Amino acid sequence: MTAFLPSSWPSKSERHRRFGSTDAVPGRKATRKEDMTDLQNRRDDYLFEIQQVGVTAVKHPIALRSPLPPYHQTSIAALELTTTLDRSSKGINMSRLTEQLNAYRDIDFVSRPETLQIFVRDLARSMDQSGADVTLEFPWFYERAAPASGRIGLAHSDLFVEAVYREDETPAFRLNVGLTVSVTTLCPCSKEISEYSAHNQRGTVRIRAEVEPAQLDLNWCEVLLNAAESNASASLHPVLKRTDEKAVTERAYENPRFVEDLARLTAADLAECPFIRQFTVECRNEESIHQHDAVARIRCAKP
């Protein structure tokens, strides 16, 4: 091990010099913003319009009111903020995207979708463009009681919210919501053909739905969660005692599901949701008897 003697070391600035830092050279280019070239706003024919340009993989804290306890949560969202860009503009003023996000820092986009409508429209206007898109993905936590003992722990799923604004389309504003949750699926075929037991696995249900903003149930995340979990062989639980383990094992055996069954049953619940215009449901099973996954997708639009 190397002994260290800070008292005999050079100062921090001397250390930086020794490790390669140099003084700034006197520059010839402008240092004041008003004297700098605004390359982004240079007009010409740039061959293509761009449907989406902006920033992605932005991490930001968000506040949300949850329909399930804990009722007030802060989560970390991964965001994408983009606008359209017309053919005659070289680039967007990218700093305005995160500048606007900071201005909306404490707003609950999840239970106040009308705020997201204003946010996405303002994004387009701030860039002097006709369209903008915003997506947020973040973990949502909720208390989950074990089925027999009632012991509580925190479970989670991932929520998705997307707002799209196109000034020249009707409607100008579209809102998509989504949820991804893990469940248990038990194979009906395996149950049918085996003398005893049946293989089961962890499945993932991924829902994306275009919703009617004016009719949106503010507890939409609970509605989507229920559509996925209530149709699976069993739900996942953070805390399970022996009595609970028996309950979830037997529940799964009583409710065997192919990946197709789970997709169709979830789709049926979504089709009954009054606020959903169209949706995609994807079920994926990490097969316990294969190295590959089984997958089923349903896309459905209401007439």
Ligand X SMILES: Nc1nc2c(ncn2[C@@H]2O[C@H](COP(=O)(O)OP(=O)(O)OP(=O)(O)O)[C@@H](O)[C@H]2O)c(=O)[nH]1
Establish if 93 lies at the interface with ligand X (CB under 6 A): yes
Establish if 40 lies at the interface with ligand X (CB under 6 A): yes
Provide φ and ψ at 244, rounded to 5°. Answer: -75, -40
The DSSP code sequence of 250-263 is: HHHHHS---HHHHH
Interacting span for ligand X (CB under 6 A) from 90-98, 131-139, 147-155, 254-262: 90-98
Closest CB 42 distance from ligand X, rounded Å: 11
Which two three-digit tokens encode residue 82? 């983009």
- Shorter beta-carbon distance to ligand X: residue 75 or 129: 129
Closest CB 50 distance from ligand X, rounded Å: 10
Interface residue with ligand X among 96, 112, 191, 202 (CB under 6 A) is 96
The angle formed by the CA atoms of residues 193, 197 and 203, to the nearest 5 degrees, is: 95
Establish if 52 lies at the interface with ligand X (CB under 6 A): no
- Shorter beta-carbon distance to ligand X: residue 51 or 226: 51
Establish if 58 lies at the interface with ligand X (CB under 6 A): no
Establish if 94 lies at the interface with ligand X (CB under 6 A): yes
Interface residue with ligand X among 38, 143, 169, 250 (CB under 6 A) is 38
Residues 82-112: b if buried by 16+ CB within 10 A, e if exposed: bbbbeeebeebeeebbeebbeeeeeeebbbe
Q: What is the DSSP letter of 6?
A: G
The footprint of ligand X on this chain (CB under 6 A) covers a number of residues equal to 9
Instruction: Give the distance from CA 229 to its chain's centroid.
Output: 19
Establish if 215 lies at the interface with ligand X (CB under 6 A): no
Establish if 78 lies at the interface with ligand X (CB under 6 A): no
Q: Which residues fall within 8 angstroms of residue 260, CB to CB, at 6 or more apart?
A: 296
Instruction: Give the distance from CA 10 to its chain's centroid.
Output: 49
Which two three-digit tokens encode residue 104? 């909306």
Establish if 46 lies at the interface with ligand X (CB under 6 A): no
Closest CB 100 distance from ligand X, rounded Å: 10
* Residue window 100-139: x/- pattern of binding to ligand X, with contact defined by CB under 6 A: ----------------------------------------
Q: Considering only residues 152-211, where is the footprint of ligand X by CB under 6 A?
A: none
Closest CB 79 distance from ligand X, rounded Å: 17
What whole-number distance in Å separates Cα of residue 147 and Cα of residue 241? 9
Q: Which residues fall within 8 angstroms of residue 15, CB to CB, at 6 or more apart?
A: 9
Positions touching ligand X (CB under 6 A) are 33, 38, 40, 91-96
